[in-house]
Amino acid sequence: MLTGSDDCTVKFWDLKSGKEVRTIDVFSQPVKKIAVSPTGNVFACGSNKKEKALKIFELSTSKELISLPAVNGEILDISFSTDGSKLLAVIEEDGFVTKVQVYDWEKGLLLKSPDLSSNEFVRAARFAMGDKFIITAGKRLSNVGDQNISLWNTISGSREETFKNTPADINQVLVSNDGASFFAGGNNLQVWDISTKSIKTSFNASSAFISTSGDSKKAVICRGKDIVLKDLESGNDVGVIKNAHQGMVSKAIFVKDNNYVVSVGKDKDVKLWNTDAFLQIPMFSKAPVESISEFVIAEKGNVIFYLLESGAIVKFDIRDGKFSPFMRNEDGTPLFKTSDISWHEPSRTLFLVPEASKDVIAFSVRYSKAKKYTVSTSYINKVDTDPSSTLLAVAAKDNSVIIYSLTDSVQKFKMVGHINAINCVAFSADGKKIYSAGADKTLKEWDVLTGTLIKSYSVNQPVNHIAVSPDNTLIATSGGDKNNSKSTTQELILWGTDMIPKILSGHTKPTLSSIFSSDSKKLISTSADNSAILWDLATLRPIKKIDRHTRAVTSAGFINPEGILVTASTDGLCSFYTPAGDPIFSLALFSQGKEHVVFTPENFTHVQEMELKIYIF
């Protein structure tokens, strides 16, 4: 992505990381307009009336290719033809005189241009209908200008048509990708059919800037400090961001296949927004994001407890759409930093492992009471509870696996066998076995009754997570070195009752977690490659690859009985999907700032009339 600024520079940004790639000096005066050729090889920059310059640069090297002639004022608008060979510029000269000039930029030639009358003040222009025509939009200014949109012949420069009843104070005109329609923005936003010269739809916009999606189905509207996402077919608002920037929002455009919007404000901040829920992706923002380490789905799918990287826990009640801090002091700080959480549904108990602790806290949601168990002589990595909630399986820092009785508050067995850190531990669905795995690249199977090792299996990679299917017939291990960004091991392995491993290929970086559906027919896995994959276990093939996150996806789950999917990421987003893996909405968590986004989903059947927001903790 490119941005031009009053500091006379153009900045190049990487949308995946949100980081600045490079900066080039293009003028001695502010950069007023910038446009990238549809061919993706060059970009154009226009300056103000002091410098009176219009330049073309090579995109890959930032090398200046040419400075175009006959520029006698400030550049109000620039755009390329669909084949990238021509450049269209609207130039404001002294005394409110405007010109629309067409260039063969490669040759540096000024071509035949629209023959404007002396009282026409043009604010914007675009090529249309396969570049055969040019559309210009006028703007009211001290009673000068005809307030109409005109269609011009590109070759002859003659006026072919004038569109009546266009919006007052027109400041923008856009042409759809197919060239059959154009959008006129001012006090109202109108969608016109070029061939029939008729208005397809019209609705109030009152905006300073309008941008349309590549499929021409949505528009993003800049209105003061707010940004509005609008459905162009119905005219309805899809999402509204209040106070998106500290200053006026000067521009917003669709990027990444219309899945995101980038906005620029007078506050000199650049922000990226997800259009599923129109929530901010904190890539360019100064507000720190709350990375999500993992979550558990509780209370029969009605509540989600999110464990943040900071060690705090946040509770989200799906029934009323409200977030609330969990286990906090009066000043709002966490009672303790948590390193691991697990949930036992029958007893309605949340098990918490404090950071650098030998204890496990069992919090009864039913009675709102907590009880501490000192279960190990070494610090604890992970815990899991058996189906009856009478036993804990504990992965300790001393590389041992502990079976602890919650009924008697005693350690029953301490099993030794791992030679490196144990990253995960899980009970079988019937509670008769425990599975443990970790950095020593082995999966170990233990007998709960005797505390003895049944068998050890080679995995060939560090294991980050173990999941056991509800029908007790499958085990999934998620692997790869999650602490090494260059790790090439990322295997998701499925183990049947015969314990013969089957590799599920699809992720490109370490897999971080996985979980089975309640009927044991599906599996969803998460990865450091920023994606989650929904698997069909009958065919062992992906049903859907979910790539809506911009950073590592750390946790996923199924909300029963609807089967709605949930993912969480270090990008601060908690995202919800249909059972087929199609996006419904997202929530975002920030550690400071003010609540500034409201979005109401209409297609989430699990929740009735729920407002969802960005929450700050």
pLDDT digit string (tens) for 552-597? 999 999 987 668 899 998 877 788 888 988 877 777 665 433 222 2
What pLDDT score does 604 carry?
Answer: 29
List the one residue out of 267, 194, 264, 189 whose CA is nearest residue 232: 189
Please give the C-alpha separations between residue 377 and each of 117, 257, 393, 395, in angstroms, as whole numbers. 88, 53, 14, 12
Please enumerate in sequence order all residues whose Cβ is within 8 A of that of 239, keeping only pairs 6 or more positions apart, or say none.
228, 229, 275, 277, 278, 597, 599
What b-and-e string marks burial along 276-307, b requiring 16 or more CB atoms within 10 Å of the CB?
bbbbbbbbbbebebbbbbbbbbbbebebbbbb
CATH class of this structure's domain 292-372: mainly beta
Distance CA 175, CA 79 (A): 11
Helices (DSSP H) in 5-58: which residue ranges?
none
DSSP code for 318:
T
More confident residue, 294 or 162: 294
Q: Are 114 and 100 in contact (CB under 8 A)?
A: yes
Per-residue pLDDT, averaged over 410-414, amounts to 96
Distance CA 75, CA 68 (A): 12
3-class SS of residue 138:
strand
SS (H, E, C) 361-397: EEEECCCCEEEEEECCCCCEEEEEECCCCCEEEEEEC
Q: Are 479 and 452 in contact (CB under 8 A)?
A: no
Q: Are 296 and 341 in contact (CB under 8 A)?
A: yes
What pLDDT score does 325 carry?
Answer: 79
List the one residue out of 547, 595, 594 whose CA is nearest residue 571: 547
Q: Within a 10 A sphere around the Cβ of 369, how many other Cβ atoms?
A: 9
Task: Tell me the pLDDT band of 242, cut-offs 50, 70 and 90.
Answer: confident
Give tens-digit pLDDT for 465-476.
Answer: 999 999 999 999
> What's the whole-number average pLDDT of the chain?
83
Distance CA 182, CA 210 (A): 12
Domain boundaries, given as residue ranges, for the chain: 292-372
Give tens-digit pLDDT for 154-177.
Answer: 999 999 888 876 766 666 777 776
What pLDDT score does 118 carry?
Answer: 73
What residues does 141 pair with on adjacent strands?
144
Distance CA 291, CA 310 (A): 8
Task: Tell me the pLDDT band of 14, cut-offs 50, 70 and 90.
Answer: confident
Please give the C-alpha separations between residue 448 and each of 101, 432, 445, 451, 470, in angstroms, as whole numbers. 81, 5, 10, 5, 18
Give tens-digit pLDDT for 489-498.
Answer: 668 999 999 9
Please give the C-alpha separations between residue 17 and each of 143, 356, 526, 571, in angstroms, as whole numbers. 47, 32, 19, 11
Q: In what order do the strands lie in the sheet with 391-396?
A: 380-385, 391-396, 400-405, 410-416
Per-residue pLDDT, averaged over 43-47, amounts to 94
Q: Within a 10 A sphere around the Cβ of 613, how many other Cβ atoms?
A: 18
More confident residue, 603 or 269: 269
User: Judging by DSSP bridges, how do beta strands 615-616 and 583-590 pair with one another?
Assistant: parallel
Give this prediction's pTM: 0.57
Give tens-digit pLDDT for 510-564.
Answer: 999 999 999 999 999 999 999 999 999 999 999 999 988 878 999 999 987 668 8
> Cβ-count burial of 580 within 10 angstroms (0-12 exposed, 13-18 middle, 19+ buried)?
exposed
